[in-house]
Amino acid sequence: MANDLITRLPVVEQLFDQYSERFGKQQTPYRNHVYRLINLVAAQTSLDNTQVEQLAIAAFFHDAGIWLAGTFDYLQPSARLAEHYLEEQQRNDWRPLIRAMILNHHKVSRYSQDHQDLVEVFRRADWIDVSLGLLRFGVPMARIRLIKRSFPNAGFHRLLFKLTGQQLVSQPWRPLPMFKR
């Protein structure tokens, strides 16, 4: 694990530029979450250039359905948005991996027994971030703190609580539709 953080990836920046109006004032909190995820994955495993690009695309789209599809039941819409993007980029060969990363990032149990499996590493990274570092999956707390300092929360978790509350009021029988076993 390198001490350097990944602070800018062209594909992430291009996608945020493309959809900036849709994210509005919530763009910074989500952008920081995306970069925290990317760095939490990098803290768990070595990545080659292809995997970094795949990770960047999955990280951008993993929760994007909240804003781009207007739903809190966002796993399938987020995956469809990523698939459309991959089709435009002529990267259909990446669809199964990126779709699996998006659809399983809220999975409560392991995705794979292979701790280097990118889908599993991505799932753990999201849990580390959503739990504010209470879950660490072997990532040193000092590394988590460095990532959080570099990419502050900026209200991201407050937004998640607000959206959860709205979902609970509107569909109490489905308070967290994005969670999987």
Which is it for the CA torsion 22, 28, 34, 35, positive or negative? positive
2 within domain boundaries: no
67 within domain boundaries: yes
Whether the CB-CB separation of 101 and 119 falls below 8 Å is answered with: yes
Which H helix or E strand runs over 39?
helix 27-42
Report the predicted TM-score, pTM, of the whole model to 2 decimal places: 0.88
pLDDT at position 168, please?
Answer: 53
Whether the CB-CB separation of 99 and 18 falls below 8 Å is answered with: no
Q: How many domains does the chain have?
A: 1
pLDDT at position 3, please?
Answer: 65
Q: Classify 178 as helix, strand or coil.
A: coil
pLDDT at position 161, please?
Answer: 63
pLDDT at position 2, please?
Answer: 45
Give the C-alpha distances (Å, rounded to integers) separating 9 from 17, 38, 158. Answer: 12, 10, 26
156 within domain boundaries: yes
Please list the pLDDT of the chain residue by residue as tens digits (181 residues): 446 999 999 999 999 999 999 999 989 999 999 999 999 999 999 999 999 999 999 999 999 998 998 876 788 999 999 999 999 999 999 999 999 999 999 888 888 877 779 999 999 999 999 999 999 999 999 999 999 999 999 777 676 666 555 555 555 545 555 555 5
179 within domain boundaries: no
Domain that includes residue 166, residue range: 10-170
The tokens for 110 are 């392991």
